[in-house]
Amino acid sequence: MSVDIRFLGHAAFTLSTDTHCIAIDPFLTGNPLAEKAGLTKESIDPTHIALTHGHADHVGDTLELATRCGSQIIAAFEICEWAAEQGIEAVNPGNPGGRYDTDFGWVAFTQAFHSSSFEGRYMGMPCGLVLNVGGVTIYHAGDTGLFGDMALIGELYKPDIAILPIGDRFTMGPEHASRAAEMIKPGMAIPCHYGTWDLIDVDPARFNPSGIEVVRLDVGATHVVK
């Protein structure tokens, strides 16, 4: 099993194997962290695009990428309806609690406590995503507050990696995210959704879950899981 986890700034990541590249929340254009690191929507060629919810800082460059790369979209039912209306043919809708097998492994949709809209349109339930890629299980919590059933998500899916928002105000802050990691019990936790703007500028050193390894990725950096 092996997967390359690359951080693109904010909540955007790619999960890459020799055969697949899954972009999660590919917000590059207008993402100050990505732009500072010289990353653009031309920097990635995803086979799949997985979206946690419909906010603009997560949908990002999805339509342009899916059009250029022919990427399959994995997202809430309403986001897939919207994408189909925009001419994207390969959509894989889901909703919290659901799981399905993919050509790279599998995807499960979890709950997230947040909102989800785009240009005034309801975009369905916000979600977290559990992706099994290259034999590695990765839980991207999306934008969410802390909730006790994160322990259940940990039990059900046993993620190797948990990617958690820590920027506060719109999501968990670092202390709540630390509690989340302690409940999920992944092999490793990666913080995201902080420092992009002043509103979510927190000290990431405050994300310090007990007994869980934290890997803080620089924007553009890759962590290889073998």
Site residues, Mn ion (CB under 5 A): 57, 143
Minimum distance between the CB of residue 180 and Ni ion, rounded to whole angstroms?
16
Q: What minimum distance in Å lies between the beta carbon of 162 and Ni ion?
A: 18
CB of 51 to Ni ion, least distance (A): 11
Check residue 140 for interaction with Ni ion (CB under 5 A). no
Count of residues making up the chain: 226
Binding map of Ni ion across residues 49-88, x = CB under 5 A, - = no contact? ------x---------------------------------
User: Phi, psi (5° rounding) for residue 29?
Assistant: -70, 120
6 binds, among Mn ion, Ni ion, none (CB under 5 to 8 A by kind): none
How many chain residues interact with Ni ion (CB under 5 A)?
A: 2
SS (H, E, C) 7-54: EEECCEEEEECCCCEEEECCCCCCCHHHHHCCCCCCCCCCCEEECCCC
Query: Binding Ni ion by CB under 5 A: which of 143, 178, 183, 188?
Result: 143
The three-state (H, E, C) secondary structure of 128-176, written as one string: EEEEEECCEEEEECCCCCCCCCHHHHHHHHCCCEEEEECCCCCCCCHHH
Given the complex with Ni ion, which of 6 and 55 has the nearer CB atom? 55
Asked whether 50 and 12 are in contact (CB, 8 A), the reply is no
**Counting contacts by CB under 5 A, is residue 168 touching Ni ion?**
no
Least distance (Å) between residue 161 CB and Ni ion: 21
